[in-house]
Amino acid sequence: MMQREKLVEQRVLEYDARLRYLQEVESGKVPEANSKSKLISSLDRQLLKLREERQRCLDRIEQVKVNVRKNWQEDSFEQVGPMVIWEAVAKRIGMIFA
């Protein structure tokens, strides 16, 4: 019976100590906790900036892809010239009369 009472008392004292520590952390009396919360806050801001930068990069990449497709289409049409159009028309006429 004595052993159980000692274990119960020991547990109560442990939980009281934890509770006091948490109260000190909340009130700002523990400098280690303050520096950790400042570090976490700083890391959160940096993570947010990195996510924004990543999104800007992804948007830029998509814009470049669209521009490359447009330029490729325009360049390929300019390189082949109007003869391609006449060849396409001739092929269609050939298909129609064939």
Task: Give, as one character, the DSSP assignment of residue 9.
Answer: H
Does position 84 have pLDDT exceeding 80, yes or no?
A: no
Q: Alpha-carbon distance 12 to 18, whole Å? A: 10
13-57 residue pLDDT tens: 898 888 888 777 777 676 666 677 777 888 889 989 999 999 998
Q: Are 28 and 34 in contact (CB under 8 A)?
A: yes
> What CA–CA distances, in Å, run from 98 to 88, 91, 95?
15, 10, 5
Q: Alpha-carbon distance 35 to 64, whole Å? A: 43
Q: Alpha-carbon distance 5 to 7, whole Å? A: 5
- Write down the mean pLDDT value for the chain: 78
Q: What pTM value is reported for the model? A: 0.41
